[in-house]
Amino acid sequence: MTLKITGLSKTYPNGVQALKNLSLTIGNNMFGLLGPNGAGKSSLMRTIATLQEADAGTIDLDGLNVLTQKDEVRKVLGYLPQEFGVYPKLSALDMLNHLAVLKGITAAGERKSMVEALLQQTNLWEVRKKALSTFSGGMKQRFGIAQALLANPKLIIVDEPTAGLDPTERRRFLNLLASIGRDVTVILSTHIVDDVRELCARMAIIAAGQVLLEGAPGEALRVLDGQIWSRIVKTDDEMCSLESSLRVLSSHLVEGQHEIRVFAPSAPGPGFLPVPSSLEDVYFQRLSQQQQA
C-alpha cells in the first residue's frame, strides 16, 4: 500500500498556515513523522484521516482520492488521535462492540470473534469488563489501538500515542505497535525521537508545515558521521559563550553538569570529543538549519 501526498496546503481561519505545499510518499512499513509541537503533524494526520479539508493538493491511497472518496477511505483506515473520547461508564468489551457496529460489522458472530481477538492482542482481556474510566493512560492507549484495528484496516494513523505514558506503559505500547506494523502500514506521528528510532524503517521530519527530511533513520545518521562533538560545560557563562559561537544542537544534564552536543565539520575547540551521531542530533540539526534559512 502506498500513500502519496502532493502539494498539500492548509491555512486555518485564524491565519495559521499549518501545511505549506507538503509532499510525502509513505510505503508499506512503519513510518515515523517527527516534529515539534505546532509543526503541522496533527493537521496532516487529520487531513489523511478525512477529518478536515485541505486548501490545495492531493492525497492518493492506492488509487483512492482521500480528499474526495472519504467513505471509501474510512473503510480501510484505523485512527488513534492524540485525544479520543469514550463513554467512561462502559466496559472495554461493550465499548468495542458498540464501535464495531458503527464500523459496519453487523454479524454478531463475526463481531464477537473480532472484538475478543483485539482485546487479547492488546492485552486487555483480563480487564475487558471494567469501566473505561478506571483504565490507566497506557490501558486507554491500548484500547485506542484496539478500536483503530476494527475491520482490519490497511492504514493505521497514531498521533502522539506515548505522550504522558510511564516507561513501562510506553514500552508495552511500542511493542504492540511494532507487532501491528508487520502486517499493515502504520504512520506514527510524534515529537519523541526515541519512538521513531526504535520502531520505524522510514521517517520524515517536518516543521512549520514543511518536510525537512525524508528517508531511513540509518541514512540520516550517516550524513552526520564525524560531525557531532561533545563536551562538559561547567558554568552558565561558558554555556552562553559556546551557544553564541557554535551550532549547539542540544544539552543534557550528566551528573549535574551540562553536556553539550555540537554540529561541526571538525573539532570546534579544546575539550570537545567526537561522539556517534544520534537520531536526536539529526532532528535538532534539521530544525536549526530550517530556523537559519
User: Residue 93 carries which DSSP code?
Assistant: H
Residues 125, 17 share a domain: no
pLDDT digits (tens, 9 = 90+) for 173-217: 888 888 888 878 999 998 889 899 889 999 999 999 999 999 999
pLDDT digits (tens, 9 = 90+) for 208-233: 999 999 999 999 999 999 999 999 99
Residues 241, 209 share a domain: no
| 229 neighbors 239 (Cβ within 8 angstroms) | no
Residues 71, 202 share a domain: yes
| 111 neighbors 100 (Cβ within 8 angstroms) | yes
pLDDT of residue 205: 96
| Grid cell listed for 180 | 501491528
pLDDT of residue 116: 96
Cross-strand partners of 207 = 210
Residue 281 lies in a domain: no
Residue 34 lies in a domain: yes
The domain boundary residue, chosen from 169, 189, 216: 216
Query: Alpha carbon of 174 to those of 142, 145, 200: distances in Å?
Result: 10, 11, 11
Residue ranges, the chain, pLDDT below 50? none
Residues 162, 53 share a domain: yes
pLDDT of residue 280: 93
Residues 36, 181 share a domain: yes
Structural domain for 188, as ranges: 1-76+157-216
Query: Alpha carbon of 188 to those of 45, 202, 244: distances in Å?
Result: 10, 11, 35
Residues 66, 165 share a domain: yes
The domain boundary residue, chosen from 190, 216, 242: 216
The pTM of the full predicted model, rounded to 2 decimals, is 0.89
Residues 94, 40 share a domain: no
Residue 99 lies in a domain: yes
**Structural domain count of the chain:** 3
Residue 271 lies in a domain: yes
Residue 70 lies in a domain: yes
Give the CA dihedral 55, 60, 66, 68, nearest 10 degrees. Answer: 70
**Could you tell me how many helices (H) and strands (E) the chain has, helices first?**
10, 14
